[in-house]
Amino acid sequence: MARPFLPYGRQTIEDDDVAAVAAALRADFLTTGPTVEAFETAFKQKVGAEHAIAVSNGTATLHLAMLALGVGEGDVCIAPSVTFLATANCARYVGAEVVFADVDPASGLMTPDTLADALSRAGERRVRAVLPVHLRGDVCDLPALKAMASAAGAVLVEDAPHALGSTATFGNEEHPVGDGAYSAFASFSFHPVKTLATGEGGMLTTNDAGLAARARSLRGHGMVRPAGAEPWVYEMPELGFNYRIPDVLCALGLSQLAKLDRFVERRRTLAARYGELLAPLSPLVQLAASPTGSNPALHLLTVLIDFEAAMTTRAAVVDSLKAQGIGSQVHYIPVHRQPYYVNRYGLADLPGADAWYDRCLTLPLYPTMDDGDVDRVVEALARALSL
Ligand SMILES: *Cc1c(COP(=O)(O)O)cnc(C)c1O
């Protein structure tokens, strides 16, 4: 019997998730209703933040963060080159320019060194936000990045869709990602491949009441209800958007959030098994490095492969895996190499991002995989590399 194809990531939807959505469909509200706030409340408690704003998707959370911070034309934002497009694009949505930071080629993360280099390339321009990405789920060195950003007059906006459930130990304190201890905002996405799925969906967390209120009103056209005014009165002091998330999807999110610990534990177990089984393939194949202090709830299981030493190409390995029923993906094509950004800024020299891109390959990781699936993936990879 043919074994099922293993994609690199997929959602885990169970009967009670379906029941939660069905109940929301039968309730009074399809869009903004009580479940939006219930999801926000449960989420902020889970990550230890004071405020959470549920949004239509992860990209919209980043756009709202930029708007709420007042980032605009003449400003610069610093984003790592190894990330999804949205991390950089959000700066452009508000007219700011992007300076791409390089990454550590072993972890794929922005580091204090690569941020220092990016800050120097920003020159005399006004840097307003630095957007560290907790790539794969591993947590960046937030205290160091924050100190450097503050010294430059900027704040951190964590692009954290990969790191829901991750924690990091800084000093003697363990911080859940999203607790806002070092950043103005943290951003999450509930795209189906992420740790928690609502289809489309996202969440912003912050400990700043003013920023939270601003993001909240900008999510709904910039409308605010003046205190004490008649019930029909709303005012639009500034231009906002419709970035609302439906009640129905928040019902799914709330149901999923109750399973986060189980999902995270399963991801950690599977990642540990990958670690054991991949060890004999070293040094040709290595797990992406985890920085000290990071305790990841891995979203992506990314390995670095020396394709040249293996006398093959990534395309051949991807094809071979596919033929063996194994999906894989590349995270990511460095954003500074996208035609839009090359046209705008020329081609920056970011050797860490290029080295990461040359070797990275993401293998299947999601909670419904069983232990034997990991064995199957590693055996297929060894075969693809003729090991
Ligand atoms: C998924 C993702 C986003 C965007 O989220 P969407 O919900 O797809 O808009 C942004 N940044 C990173 C790093 C992501 O992984």
For 162-216, what is each residue's pLDDT tens digit? 999 999 999 999 999 999 999 999 999 999 999 999 999 999 999 999 999 999 9
Residue with the nearest Cα to atom 13 of ligand 1?
84
The active-site residue, picked from 44, 46, 146, 194, is 194
Q: Is 358 exposed, middle or buried (0-12, 13-18, 19+ CB in 10 A)?
A: middle
Same domain assignment for residues 19 and 86: yes
Is 349 inside a domain boundary? yes
Same domain assignment for residues 170 and 45: yes
Sign of CA dihedral 41, 43, 48, 50: negative
Q: Is 259 a catalytic residue?
A: no
Is 8 inside a domain boundary? no
Is 6 inside a domain boundary? no
Q: What is the mean pLDDT of residues 291-310?
A: 97
Domain end residue (candidates: 195, 229, 257): 257
Is 207 inside a domain boundary? yes
Domain end residue (candidates: 257, 277, 299): 257
* Length of the chain, in residues: 387
Q: What is the mean pLDDT of residues 3-7?
A: 93
Q: If pLDDT is split at 50, 70 and 90, which confidence band does 3 have?
A: confident
Is 202's C-beta closer than 6 angstroms to any atom of ligand 1? Answer: yes
Is 2 inside a domain boundary? no
Q: How many domains does the chain have?
A: 2
Helix (H) or strand (E) holding 272: helix 260-278
Same domain assignment for residues 86 and 205: yes
Ligand 1 centroid to residue 86 C-alpha, Å: 6
Supply the CATH number for residue 378's domain: 3.90.1150.10
Return the pLDDT at 30: 86
Contact in structure between 263 and 367 (CB atoms under 8 Å): yes
pLDDT at 1 over 90: no
Q: What is the mean pLDDT of residues 308-316?
A: 97
pLDDT at 354 over 70: yes
Is 286 inside a domain boundary? yes
Mean per-residue pLDDT of the chain: 97
Is 361 inside a domain boundary? yes
pLDDT at 226 over 80: yes
Is 133's C-beta closer than 6 angstroms to any atom of ligand 1? Answer: yes
Write down the pTM of the prediction: 0.97
Return the pLDDT at 265: 97
CA-to-CA distance for 180 and 302, rounded, in angstroms? 27
Q: What is the mean pLDDT of residues 258-275?
A: 98
Task: Point out which residues pair with 204 in neighbouring strands.
Answer: 53, 187
CA-to-CA distance for 142 and 185, rounded, in angstroms? 13
CA-to-CA distance for 18 and 50, rounded, in angstroms? 29
pLDDT at 100 over 60: yes
Task: Point out which residues pair with 51 in neighbouring strands.
Answer: 206
pLDDT at 146 over 80: yes
Is 5 inside a domain boundary? no
Is 191's C-beta closer than 6 angstroms to any atom of ligand 1? Answer: yes
Same domain assignment for residues 58 and 146: yes
Domain end residue (candidates: 257, 290, 308): 257
Same domain assignment for residues 271 and 229: no
Domain that holds residue 333: 261-384
